[in-house]
Amino acid sequence: MLLGRQREIAHIEDLLNGATEGTSAAVLLHGEAGIGKSSLLKAAIDAASARDLGVLRTRGYESESDIPFAGLLELLTPLLPLRDRIPEVQARALGSALALEAPTPFDRFAVPAGMLSLLAAAAEERPYLVVADDVHWLDDASREALSFVARRLGAEGVVLVFAARPVDEVLAAFEGIESRAVAPLADADAAALLRREAPSHVSEKVAADLLASAHGNPLALTEIPRGLSPDQLAGREPLAGPLQAGDRIEDAFARQLADLPAATREALLIAAAMQTGRHDIYLKALELRGVPKSALDAAVSAQMIALDGRVEFFHPLLRSAVYHAADPIQRRSVHATLAELADTVATPGRRAWHLAAAADAPDEQVAEALEEAAAEARSRGGILAAARAYERAANLSTDDAARARRLLEAASDYAQANQADHALALVGAAQELVPADSAPTTEVVRVRGRVEMRRGAPVVAHDLLVAEAERIAAEDPGNAAWLLLEAAGAHMMTGDMEALIRTGDRARALLAGGLNPPMEVLAGVLVGEAHAALGHEAEADALLDPAMPLLTGEYVLALPSELVAMAGQCGIWYERWDRATAVLDHLVATARQASAINHLIFPLVSQSIMDYRQGRWANALADAGEAARLARETALRPLLTFALAVLAHAEAGMGRRDDARAHAREALHLAEELDGTSVAIYALNALAFDALGAGEIESAVELYDRAFRSATKLRMQRGLIQFGADRVEALARAGRTDAAFQALEEFADTPGGGHWASAALARCRGILADRTAEHHFITALSHHERDGQPFERARTQLAYGERLRRDRRRADAREQLTQALDTFERLSATPWADRTRVEMRATGGAAAEGGAAEREAVAAAGLEELTAHELQIARLVAYGDTNRQVAAKLFLSPKTIEYHLSQIYRKLDLRSRTQLASLMAQEMGSSKTAA
């Protein structure tokens, strides 16, 4: 019976009861060593077994933290027979990551998605409890998979319970998941535990001292008394000095070990040094070292270790005490033995790490084994494990050139794993080993450039890469061109598109003549996107159109997803809808099919922008919402910033003010943290658009002016973020006519934007004009015929109707206002529809309360009640996908889709998929991206 843990146990039992009813949940228990986390997990397992739940478990081991997916292999092994019931691409990713088959390329998040699908498949038969102990020692890949699954569980009947020490890295990884600190025991419970577990009578004075030193730590209360004699416990003999819980726990374990026979201590050391608890390997190790099986009997009797198909220590601190108390020479000898027994097929890195632990000096053969293990880990998605293996291989290298090469490999992986500062230190160490002007110098510069970009220093990276490219251009133009392309990528971060063009064109010149055609095409794409950002539409088309076979080809996922999606987004800026649709549809569909979340988020945001402009606002909200959710759950903060800003703009247009402002402000905060000036403009635009729609004109003016100043510095073309016309309107409505005319001139002087820009300019001139207003509005409407942006056309009709009403042409005003209202209501543009109705009432027309579009909107009013997540599910179901197909595309379980679908039906008062498809048809348009 656990003392003092009634609240925690009651909460876990509530979660388990929910699982039996089909509800999923996750909780992280964190606290200091010995505080009772493992005991709570055992209580959870017992409670789950009593309810006939399936139980899956894993545990992190310090010695195993560099073996990618080791924790996941232990957890999922019982479910592997179900792999044929999950999407094939996820099954392949799991097989590759868990070393069940040869490595194949897969997206970083395909394995977590596969884990979720596997758990969901198992839960179709019975609810499950999943426990993971010592999560702070789990390998990074397994920990990432657990946190991903914990965030995406819904209605499967799966409960995840994790236990970890309060390590910042772990708490950050599980941010957003329920977290409970396991507190010290209350005094009364601590006293009861002490008296229950003490091996003999404890005097009041000694009990008080022990309770004061243990600070409510159950392990201390249990183990410290075991290291004391009956006379010390009874107070007849003094205690040896002040009692410190941490030291005393280790002392208690050390005393227990000292009393054991030498053979037993060696048997325990073998168990402590193992990177797996497999009993069969353990028995072979005992045999090789001449240790009898009976040597463990004393440790089992003392409840230090348990043998139940696996070798398990009573507590991780005991394992650590055994390992570190042993003679270093004996430890190395044990690791050498375990290296002979390592299963190099199931876990290729184990032999290498045992060899490394056995080495007491640089050893090139061991370094080579670690390098092979690093390459294997990298091929299976264990980037951080690969980095550590490369770094250890470098330390064991006997040759400076090999050491430098391995340090650079480690630095590349550390940078990719967001440990850029450590990566930079390794690059510096490698540079000291490389002779000046030698061939490896280029690789040093290349890796340092990548690291500097990861550290948020793109200008430093650019200067380094360009200087090295110019140094080797004559003798190695291909390599120089690649360096220049990486340098040009730095300008994507700074927003200096003219500099990007100069650097990219230099790379293209080096590649001219067929040196590397695919690289030349990619260079053209990069430069074309920069031209598009500056409003050079002809130059952009000349470079992007020839690249379409590559951008929509079979191997699109081998290309940088942002580069590909940006090519589609460029088409949005100046209404090349054909290119935008082809590129984004293909990329999104391919990424979904491959469970490639890394490649999905950015194009979903781009798709949202296109759907918004083309009048598919429900789609826009759904795509941006999914992108933001995926980015948050995968901790991809730059992509989260972009997704939130675009989501906020869609929400502002639909009058979801609380959500819009919260998401825009979060995006602005993240953009400032990440120095993302261009994304900050998206967030400012969303806040300003929300204020404009709500009639908070002064606030809108201030925000639009901030956006304008930032955009001017970056020389953004006016179609990139469409705020120029809104800024003019806000100033005009604020009565600041002179400033409005100045803003109009600034808008007119900015290039780009296609037919929309011509229409918006004419609308602004109509708003500010006197006698020629009608001419400008008619001109604007003629341009809208070709821009494909219904909301912008309705904005012009609203402004035109307002002017006609002020000119007392009420019938003509009602005609324009009625058309505007029809569009606003179809889009669910609530603030704009409300403003239009007010204007129509001023004309005295009865149509203000009963337009055809309004009647349609009433029928579909429930759509406004759906969240972005529900809209995405409704949209996919409307395409005709089954629940299982929707689940695969959204990286959820079929039961979660079923749950959300029932909520959608309730909110919309529908009873069938057919009714839902009919209702969604007007919002879906012709886009098939989600299919």
Q: How far apart are CA 131 and CA 578, in angstroms?
A: 50
pLDDT score of 247: 54
Residues forming beta bridges with residue 162, ordered by sequence position: 28, 132
pLDDT score of 848: 44
pLDDT score of 857: 44
Instruction: Name which of 169, 170, 168, 105 is nearest 132 in CA terms.
Output: 170
DSSP reduced 3-state for 180: strand
Strands 25-30, 311-313: pairing kind: unpaired
pLDDT score of 343: 67
pLDDT score of 576: 95
In terms of Cβ atoms closer than 10 Å to its own Cβ (0-12, 13-18, 19+), residue 420 is: buried
The pair of structure tokens assigned to 901 is 């679908």
| 845 in Cβ contact with 862 (< 8 Å) | no
Q: Could you report the average pLDDT of every consecutive run of 10 residues in the chain (931 residues)?
A: 91 96 96 92 96 95 84 93 94 89 81 94 96 94 94 94 94 93 94 89 87 87 80 78 54 77 92 78 90 89 79 80 89 92 70 92 95 90 91 95 95 89 95 77 92 85 93 93 90 83 94 88 93 92 94 91 91 95 96 91 96 95 96 88 97 96 96 83 97 96 96 89 96 96 96 94 96 94 96 98 93 95 94 94 65 44 79 90 91 91 90 86 54 46
For the chain, the C-alpha Rg in angstroms (whole number) is: 32
Nearest 5°: CA angle at 192, between 186 and 197?
Answer: 120
The pair of structure tokens assigned to 669 is 């905060």
DSSP reduced 3-state for 306: strand
For the chain, report the end-to-end CA distance as a whole number of angstroms: 53
Q: Taking the CB of residue 831, how many other CB atoms lie within 10 A of it?
A: 19
pLDDT score of 855: 40
Phi, psi of 226 (to 5 degrees): -65, -20
Strand order in the sheet with 128-133: 54-59, 128-133, 158-164, 25-30, 178-181
Q: How many residues does the chain have?
A: 931
| 800 in Cβ contact with 762 (< 8 Å) | no
